[in-house]
Amino acid sequence: MNNIDKQISKFIKKGGKRIRLNVFIENLLVSLIVALSISSMASILGLFIPIYNLFEICFIIFTISMSIYIFIYLYKLRPDNKKVALKLDSKGLNERLITSLELINKDDNISNAQKEDTIEVIREIKISKITPFHIKRKNLYSLIAILTVLIIILCIPTTAKNQAREIRKMKKFNKEVIEKIKGEKKDTKGSEELLEDDKLDIVKELDKSIDEIKKSESKIDTEKALNKLEKKLDNIEKNLDSVDSKEKIQNILKKLNLNKEQTSEKLAILNKMAKELSKIDKMKELSEAINSQDEDKIKEALDKLGEDLKNLKDEDKEEISNNLENISANITDENLKGALSSTAASISSGNIDLSKLQNALISLNKDSINADNGDNKNGTGSQNNQSGNGTNGQGNGDGNGIGNGMGNGSGSGNGSGWDTGNKENGEGKLNSGEKVFLPNRGTGADENLKGNISEGGNSQSITTENGVNIAGDSIDYEKIIHEYSNSEIVGLKNKSIPKSLQDLIKKYFEELK
């Protein structure tokens, strides 16, 4: 290639860069318009249907569109040297470049004369003038318009969007829980404290839990799966003999943090509910009652709210109804969500019914309080320890204990103990002035008694294995009965128990004195 050929090739190459860039930008705008149009259609659909992964879908649409465009550009739209030469010739070169391009590497007189003529012309031309950077305004305006529409659609609040947001949070929560379970599964397989059979049982339950959580469609389903896993692990723990193995199970439960996750979720729902209600003028008192977690205050606030709503104008009722519907869309608890929707509908129709909302709030409030007080073995709270042990282990008795809850339980064992119930078999009541020995928990196990427990209450039985508890106090029997009876009589005022039943319980404790 001689010097003339090199000059012609250099000119075509320089002009080709600018032409190719213009072609790339022009078609890129078209590709962006297509991608944003499809994303806008998906976003419009998201206004009416909960699409929790809308952003991911839009990103995938954008990525696929760009990939397809780049592929098409490289193999079809990108101009080669011949197309570049023709494009440059159209700017007033009268096909000199395309002709000279075909004559490159030819040294005959005619070819050289033709190429020299081309050189003389291109020396007088500034490449930037004949190949300026430009964008079609029509495409640019279309892109701006579609982008504006998409942003507006994304900013419009709807019930479907709120539902999608909650689903996204639920999916994220499930993913985190599954990762924790997988981590514990890995640790369990490598554990030296557990026997192989025990490892297999634990891993099996962890795998089942992972499958259930993956299939869950709401946080309630996830919580059910976690509750089920906790019970299964507790059952496995009961069948273990080794202390180290039991500690391993406890560590798994602790690391998974199951109860804390559920408790914090219930409290978060109540707090969110109270916060949203505080924004509604007529609902501020109910909001304060929910924050207090006092069942009586919640009932009183709802009763007052019901009376206030009856006196409101239709337009005010409709406004409150719409507000409740919006709050419902942001609540993850299915029971409370349904109650809010039902309440909103009843207010809108004029047939005000707050019973479902009351039941849902009280139920959720109880769950959060019970979880806080410790529904599991390590929980804390007001408990009434019952035991049916007589002095020196003589007699087996069934005791009816009344504490924060009312339950029926029985117990047996050897050693000194005390019974506040009515014994059917065994020794009678201790004489006035006698001392009783209150043992500390030595070796043994404590289990939650299942009975008819009233609101917010629970009870425990403590069974010792070695007969005599280690270390304790000797306390006057009458003092115990007197103090216990007084505390229960006073405590009745704060319980939502029918008055007739309160009188019966009060009479029972008065007779004990």
Reported as a single tens digit per residue, the pLDDT across 320-341 is: 888 888 888 878 777 888 888 8
* Residue predicted with more confidence, 399 or 197: 197
Checking if the pLDDT of 355 tops 70, the result is: yes
| Residue in the block written with tokens 């299964």 | 232
Give pLDDT, residue 34.
Answer: 94
Give pLDDT, residue 198.
Answer: 81
Most confident of 80-84, 127-131, 387-391: 80-84
Checking if the pLDDT of 494 tops 80, the result is: no
Checking if the pLDDT of 160 tops 60, the result is: yes
Q: Provide the mean pLDDT of the chain.
A: 74
**Measured between alpha carbons, how far is 317 from 326 in angstroms, rounded to an integer?**
14
Checking if the pLDDT of 47 tops 60, the result is: yes
**Measured between alpha carbons, how far is 495 from 296 in angstroms, rounded to an integer?**
9
Q: Are 221 and 246 in contact (CB under 8 A)?
A: no
> Residue 138: CA atoms inside 13 Å, Cβ hemisphere, count?
2
Give pLDDT, residue 65.
Answer: 93
Checking if the pLDDT of 431 tops 60, the result is: no
- Count of residues making up the chain: 513
Residues in Cβ contact with 13 at an 8 Å cutoff, skipping those fewer than 6 apart: 81
* Residue predicted with more confidence, 396 or 120: 120
Average pLDDT over residues 134-153: 91
* Residue 391 tokens, joined: 């002095």
Residues in Cβ contact with 165 at an 8 Å cutoff, skipping those fewer than 6 apart: 52
Per cent of the chain over pLDDT 70 is: 71
Checking if the pLDDT of 415 tops 60, the result is: no
Confidence of residue 428 (pLDDT cuts 50, 70, 90): very low
**Measured between alpha carbons, how far is 478 from 402 in angstroms, rounded to an integer?**
17
* Residue 65 tokens, joined: 């569109």
Chain segment 68-79, per-residue pLDDT in tens: 999 999 998 998
Specify burial of residue 511 (Cβ count, 10 A radius: 0-12, 13-18, 19+). exposed
| Residue in the block written with tokens 């409101």 | 312
Angle formed by the axes of helices 219-238 and 258-277, to 10°?
150
**Measured between alpha carbons, how far is 150 from 447 in angstroms, rounded to an integer?**
59
Checking if the pLDDT of 179 tops 70, the result is: yes
State the DSSP code for 52: T
* Residue 146 tokens, joined: 């579609």
Per cent of the chain over pLDDT 90 is: 13
Average pLDDT over residues 301-315: 84
SS3 461: strand
* Residue predicted with more confidence, 223 or 457: 223
Confidence of residue 397 (pLDDT cuts 50, 70, 90): very low
**Measured between alpha carbons, how far is 160 from 164 in angstroms, rounded to an integer?**
6
Checking if the pLDDT of 370 tops 80, the result is: no
pTM: 0.48
Give pLDDT, residue 23.
Answer: 92
| Residue in the block written with tokens 């010792």 | 464
* Residue 426 tokens, joined: 């065994």
Q: Are 173 and 219 in contact (CB under 8 A)?
A: yes
> Residue 87: CA atoms inside 13 Å, Cβ hemisphere, count?
23
Chain segment 468-480, per-residue pLDDT in tens: 444 445 556 566 6
Strands 458-464 and 383-386: parallel
Give pLDDT, residue 243.
Answer: 77
Give pLDDT, residue 363.
Answer: 81
Residues in Cβ contact with 221 at an 8 Å cutoff, skipping those fewer than 6 apart: 212, 215
Greatest alpha-carbon pair distance for the chain in Å reads 139
Residues in Cβ contact with 146 at an 8 Å cutoff, skipping those fewer than 6 apart: 33, 36, 37, 40
Specify burial of residue 71 (Cβ count, 10 A radius: 0-12, 13-18, 19+). exposed
**Measured between alpha carbons, how far is 479 from 329 in angstroms, rounded to an integer?**
55
Give pLDDT, residue 432.
Answer: 43
Measured between alpha carbons, how far is residue 121 from residues 7, 87, 100, 265, 345 in Å? 12, 16, 12, 79, 83
**Measured between alpha carbons, how far is 297 from 290 in angstroms, rounded to an integer?**
8
Which of 505, 507, 513, 474 minimizes the C-alpha distance to 401? 505
Give pLDDT, residue 475.
Answer: 57
